[in-house]
């Protein structure tokens, strides 16, 4: 194994520690305190965290106080800093590091840090299990590579600290990506003020080790929601007519959500992913719920789907004399990678050891709330690109066997640090 193929021990240690302690959206207490400790051991000019990096009333889908307290206690038991936990409060997770070296461009890198509610594989063919860094939070795991993303961010920071760039570097560790709920509150804050170039990155995405996608497009705008139906219970045998059946309302809503007409202007999606309701077979159910989402190739197409979905939900409730309460859980707009910035990434990648193939662009086919940050930078005159870093991962994303090839973390650091350095050196023109 060459020096390049091996991941430096410190980065491997960090990645594996984060992998052992996966935490869901807005509950990344241990992850945040661990990253802050790393940042404070480096020569950064500013470390920001807590409500300071969020606009509180733009946060979506924040767990209840009991859930937050449970994860805070898990973090405390794992050794999280009490002082930092106090600052994070009711789930104001994530962190931002700033290195300010005077006049020059401001470059930002965004990486995400949350995990998924999936039980991790425990057989010997799964590397984290075999090597002793499988999740210790049973039922949760880093099944999308965010542990690697956080490590990549730290590596890029180190590389730039060792360079002589002129300008300002902002490193953003963003929470709550998996619920598309964390990007909006950071984008609405002052964290991105003055950013000339934003890079966001993701490992894998069905590209093998050695491949780089310089600028990903095709983000589907998305809105996720919960619809709660309320009816009236009754004896299902003796007096069925006395009840208002909430499950029937829910079922009608599901059928008609999938019947929303598609649009000629582009791709649209709808899905009901989780449902529940009722208490017994002999009781007309008085309550039911569904968790669903709509997506569109553009933000306008997603809004088209949402307008139809609202009518469907209201109509299903009316049909069975039920009430309905709809809560928005998370959303994200569509976005496009700036081709000039993506070109800089591509040029760097083609000269990076370990990269065999570079794609100028690709489509994601899914959704990502980095789009909030990308659009904010675009709207204020900057450029943004979303970079894909290939890795040979067993199992697909969001599966119990997902893992990354750790040497690809170093490839990602090389490409992203090189691209940031190129921007600092003025290789992004005004065109």
Radius of gyration of the chain, Cα coordinates, nearest whole angstrom: 23
Section 157-185 average pLDDT: 97
User: Are 243 and 369 part of one and the same domain?
Assistant: no
Residue 156's domain comprises: 9-219+335-424
In a domain, 430, yes or no: no
Residues near 216 by Cβ (< 8 Å), separated by ≥ 6?
202, 205, 337, 361, 362, 363, 364, 385, 386, 387, 388
In a domain, 147, yes or no: yes
Residue 6 pLDDT greater than 70, yes or no = no
User: Are 280 and 204 part of one and the same domain?
Assistant: no
5 vs 21 pLDDT, higher one: 21
Residue 9 pLDDT greater than 90, yes or no = no
The mean pLDDT of the chain is 96
Give the 3-state secondary structure percentages of the chain, helix then strand then coil, rounded to 5. 35, 20, 45
In a domain, 3, yes or no: no
Q: Which of 330, 359, 382 is the last residue of a domain?
A: 330
What is the rounded (10 degree) CA torsion for 362, 304, 332, 368? -30
User: Are 376 and 391 part of one and the same domain?
Assistant: yes
User: Are 176 and 253 part of one and the same domain?
Assistant: no
In a domain, 429, yes or no: no
Residues near 3 by Cβ (< 8 Å), separated by ≥ 6?
none
User: Are 210 and 241 part of one and the same domain?
Assistant: no
6 vs 210 pLDDT, higher one: 210
What local confidence, expressed as pLDDT, does residue 198 receive? 98
What CATH number did the domain enclosing 227 receive?
A: 3.30.70.360
User: Are 214 and 226 part of one and the same domain?
Assistant: no
What local confidence, expressed as pLDDT, does residue 365 receive? 82
What local confidence, expressed as pLDDT, does residue 429 receive? 62
| C-alpha to C-alpha distances, 150 to 32, 201, 282, nearest whole angstrom | 10, 10, 51
User: Are 81 and 211 part of one and the same domain?
Assistant: yes
Q: Taking CA 342 as the corner, what is the angle to CA 106 and CA 144, rounded to the nearest 5 degrees?
A: 90
Residue 382 phi, psi (nearest 5): -95, -170
Residue 5 pLDDT greater than 50, yes or no = no
Section 201-226 average pLDDT: 96
Residue 321 pLDDT greater than 60, yes or no = yes
What local confidence, expressed as pLDDT, does residue 427 receive? 82
User: Are 19 and 136 part of one and the same domain?
Assistant: yes
What CATH number did the domain enclosing 116 receive?
A: 3.40.630.10
C-alpha–C-alpha distance, residues 115 and 377, integer Å: 26
What local confidence, expressed as pLDDT, does residue 92 receive? 98
In a domain, 171, yes or no: yes
pLDDT category of residue 212 using cuts at 50, 70 and 90: very high
pLDDT category of residue 7 using cuts at 50, 70 and 90: low
Residues near 172 by Cβ (< 8 Å), separated by ≥ 6?
94, 96, 108, 109, 110, 111, 186, 191, 373
Residue 99 pLDDT greater than 70, yes or no = yes
User: Are 370 and 305 part of one and the same domain?
Assistant: no
Q: Which of 310, 330, 350 is the last residue of a domain?
A: 330
Other C-beta atoms closer than 10 Å to the C-beta of 334 total 25
DSSP string, 214-267: S-EE-PPEEEEEEEEEE-B--BTTT-GGG-B-HHHHHHHHHHHHTTSPP-TTS-
Residue 313 phi, psi (nearest 5): -65, -45
What local confidence, expressed as pLDDT, does residue 4 receive? 36
366 vs 176 pLDDT, higher one: 176
C-alpha–C-alpha distance, residues 300 and 265, integer Å: 10
User: Are 167 and 91 part of one and the same domain?
Assistant: yes
User: Are 320 and 292 part of one and the same domain?
Assistant: yes
Section 246-251 average pLDDT: 98
Q: Which of 330, 351, 382 is the last residue of a domain?
A: 330
Residue 294 pLDDT greater than 70, yes or no = yes
Contact 203, 145 (CB under 8 A): yes
Residue 362 pLDDT greater than 60, yes or no = yes
pLDDT category of residue 2 using cuts at 50, 70 and 90: very low
User: Are 123 and 185 part of one and the same domain?
Assistant: yes
Tally the domains of the chain: 2
Residue 206 pLDDT greater than 50, yes or no = yes
In a domain, 396, yes or no: yes
Section 342-353 average pLDDT: 98
What local confidence, expressed as pLDDT, does residue 364 receive? 82
In a domain, 1, yes or no: no
Contact 162, 100 (CB under 8 A): no
In a domain, 283, yes or no: yes
């Amino acid at each position: 194994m060459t020096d390049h193929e091996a991941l430096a021990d410190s980065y491997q240690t960090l990645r594996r520690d984060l992998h052992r302690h996966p935490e869901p959206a807005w509950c990344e207490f241990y992850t945040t305190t661990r990253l802050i400790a790393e940042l404070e051991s480096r020569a950064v000019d500013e470390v920001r965290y807590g409500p300071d990096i969020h606009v509180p009333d733009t946060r979506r889908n924040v767990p209840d106080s009991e859930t937050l307290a449970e994860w805070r206690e898990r973090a405390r038991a794992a050794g999280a800093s009490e002082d930092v936990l106090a600052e994070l409060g009711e789930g104001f997770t994530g962190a931002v590091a700033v290195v300010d070296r005077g006049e020059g461009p401001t470059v930002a890198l965004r990486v995400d840090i949350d995990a998924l509610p999936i039980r991790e594989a425990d057989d010997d063919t799964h590397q984290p299990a075999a090597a002793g860094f499988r999740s210790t939070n049973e039922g949760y795991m880093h099944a999308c590579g965010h542990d690697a993303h956080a490590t990549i961010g730290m590596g890029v920071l180190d590389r730039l600290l060792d360079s002589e760039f002129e300008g300002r570097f902002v490193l953003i560790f963003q929470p709550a990506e998996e619920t598309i709920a964390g990007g909006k509150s950071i984008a609405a804050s002052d964290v991105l003020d003055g950013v000339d170039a934003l890079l966001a990155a993701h490992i894998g995405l069905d590209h093998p080790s050695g491949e780089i996608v310089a600028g990903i497009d095709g983000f589907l705008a998305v809105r996720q929601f919960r619809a709660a139906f309320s009816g009236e219970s009754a004896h299902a045998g003796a007096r069925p007519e006395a009840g208002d059946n909430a499950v029937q309302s829910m079922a009608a809503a599901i059928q008609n959500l999938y019947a929303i007409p598609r649009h000629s202007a582009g791709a649209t999606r709808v899905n009901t992913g989780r449902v529940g309701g009722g208490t017994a077979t002999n009781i007309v159910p008085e309550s039911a719920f569904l968790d669903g989402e709509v997506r569109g190739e553009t933000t306008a197409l997603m809004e088209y789907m949402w307008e139809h979905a609202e009518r469907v939900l209201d109509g299903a409730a009316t049909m069975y004399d039920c009430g309905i309460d709809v809560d928005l859980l998370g959303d994200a707009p569509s976005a496009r990678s700036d081709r000039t910035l993506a070109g800089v990434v591509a040029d760097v990648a083609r000269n990076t050891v370990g990269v065999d193939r570079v794609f100028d662009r690709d489509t994601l086919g899914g959704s990502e709330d980095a789009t909030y940050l990308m659009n904010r930078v675009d709207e204020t005159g900057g450029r943004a690109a979303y970079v894909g870093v290939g890795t040979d991962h067993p199992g697909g994303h969001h599966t119990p066997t997902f893992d990354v090839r750790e040497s690809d973390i170093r490839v990602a650091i090389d490409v992203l640090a090189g691209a940031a350095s190129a921007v600092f050196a003025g290789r992004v023109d005004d065109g």
